[in-house]
Amino acid sequence: MAKGGFSRLLRTTGFRLTAIFLAVFAIFAAFLISYIARNTTEILQADIRRAVDAELAAMALQYERGGPSWLARVVELRSRQPGASLYLVIGPDGSKIAGNVETVPDEVLASTGADAEIVPYVWLDEEGSRQRYSALVRVVDLPDRMRILVGRDISESEQLVRVVRRSLILTVALMVALGLVAWLFVSRRVLKRIDSIAESSRRFAAGDLAGRLEVTGTGDEFDRLAESLNTMLNRIERLMLGLKQVSDNIAHDLKTPLTRLRSRAERVLAEGKSEPEYRAALSATIDEADQLIRTFNALLTIARVEAGSSDAAFSIFDAAAVARDVYELYEPLAEEAGVALRLDSDGPVMVRANRELISQALANLVDNAVKYASEGAAHPQAVISVCREGGRVTLNVSDNGVGIAEADRGRATERFVRLEESRSKPGAGLGLSLVSAVAKLHGGELILGDNRPGLAAALYVPEAAAGHAV
């Protein structure tokens, strides 16, 4: 690995966390090794002390039975047995009478009656060679100013403790080494994924809106993060493309009414001679300006809804009551246009939504139905219906007009799209765009279907949970 790449690994959060973990683990391991070694030593020495005390009691009994000579014979016999304990019988003059220990420090022989203690000693084997070891010994007084030392060699127990300690240290060292290897592997993999995310983000920020984060398919946290970020990038791309489309549409569709306003004003200034002519020109200009204001208001409303930042809060209300209000508002207009408007409702249908936006969306659908129902039908009619369908509420508006061809239904909800080529009807092509945005804001959808003849527009919104009050 290059020097720069390794230094980057050392600056990663993974390295810092690994270092902290290893430090904590090392402290815990040192404590564990010390604890196990100390307790092992204490347990072995406690067993040896009990054995020494029992052996001393047996030697004292032998002395009582046969005196010094018998004790010496017993000690000599036991000293020659394999794995024997340590024995040393000292006479009244301090000389060795029997035993398998050559020399012992004088201070040890002087500490009669004390608890067993660890002392160095010289072992005299069968060949007469001397070996230096350590033992846990105890000295007691016998009658006639004699003393006896009994002990057990602790070399094997110390060796066992050393083996245990060495094994634990090697185990800890191996675990640390494996931890470092695992950290190096994981850190490189993690750093590679992070570099990929950073590079994709830089490309997206540079204008490559089609670029996406890599999803490896492992289902790990980086895949979940990449999927979430890709969803966000998809949303940003759609908004950017929508913004471009809106800008293009505004430049195209609003240029015509603005041009008409200017042409009318120039014509009246050039040709108008009477007050009625001026008034008529001003009235037409105001109507054109009102239409432009409605168009801009609709664009702002769509933008707020698509951004999810509508000012009005969600509440629980009866969708059937909203449909009834819209029906009462449009019934006179429908009657004037010669369209039979009808309302079908199952009764109270509770939804949790933005009442103002739902009302406006339903009004847009009814306005379209009334506007186009009279075309191509001998008896034009439009129907508003509200019903429940599988946990959601359907606000349906259908008519028997010319309808929308199946190939055009997808783009009918786009901004400024008007399927009427002559554009003789009033409007800016934003009605269905607003309805679609409102549906998405509420987690629903707008579906345009065939009413055979005419159009069936269904606005789906989630039903309010049971138990909610108005």
Q: What is the mean pLDDT of the chain?
A: 77
Q: Tell me which residue of 363, 380, 371 sits closest to 459, measured CA to CA.
A: 363
Q: Which range, 50-54, 192-196, 311-315, 452-456, is most confident?
A: 50-54
Helix/strand number for the chain, H first, E second: 10, 13
Element (H, E) at 380: none
Which tens digit of pLDDT belongs to each residue from 309-364? 555 577 888 888 988 998 898 888 888 888 888 898 877 888 888 888 888 888 88
C-alpha–C-alpha distance, residues 53 and 139, integer Å: 10
C-alpha–C-alpha distance, residues 461 and 358, integer Å: 9
Confirm if 15 and 187 have CB atoms less than 8 A apart.
yes
Give ranges for CATH 3.30.450.20 in the chain.
Answer: 1-200
- Give yes or no for residue 281 having a pLDDT over 50: yes
> Given this model, what pLDDT does residue 230 score?
86
The band of 423, judged by pLDDT with boundaries at 50, 70 and 90, is very low
Give ranges for CATH 3.30.565.10 in the chain.
Answer: 311-468
CA distances from 198 to 56, 191, 201, 211, 233 (A): 79, 10, 5, 12, 14
| CB-count exposure of residue 230 (10 Å: 0-12, 13-18, 19+) | middle
The hierarchical CATH code for the domain 311-468 is 3.30.565.10
Which tens digit of pLDDT belongs to each residue from 345-359? 877 888 888 888 888
The hierarchical CATH code for the domain 1-200 is 3.30.450.20
290 against 14, higher pLDDT: 290
CA distances from 256 to 303, 424, 430 (A): 23, 14, 16
Q: Tell me which residue of 93, 96, 58 sits closest to 78, measured CA to CA.
A: 58
Provide the strand spans (E) within 280-323.
315-318
Confirm if 223 and 217 have CB atoms less than 8 A apart.
yes
Question: Percentage of the chain with pLDDT > 70?
Answer: 81
C-alpha–C-alpha distance, residues 369 and 326, integer Å: 13
43 against 422, higher pLDDT: 43
- Give yes or no for residue 428 having a pLDDT over 80: no
Which sign does the torsion angle of CA 65, 70, 74, 77 carry? negative
Question: Percentage of the chain with pLDDT > 90?
Answer: 0
Which tens digit of pLDDT belongs to each residue from 189-211? 777 777 788 888 888 888 777 77
- Give yes or no for residue 212 having a pLDDT over 50: yes
> Given this model, what pLDDT does residue 45 score?
79
The band of 420, judged by pLDDT with boundaries at 50, 70 and 90, is low
C-alpha–C-alpha distance, residues 147 and 447, integer Å: 110
In CATH terms, the fold of domain 209-309 is Helix Hairpins (1.10.287)
Give ranges for CATH 1.10.287 in the chain.
Answer: 209-309
Which tens digit of pLDDT belongs to each residue from 167-185? 878 887 887 788 778 777 7
> Given this model, what pLDDT does residue 468 score?
47
Confirm if 249 and 415 have CB atoms less than 8 A apart.
yes
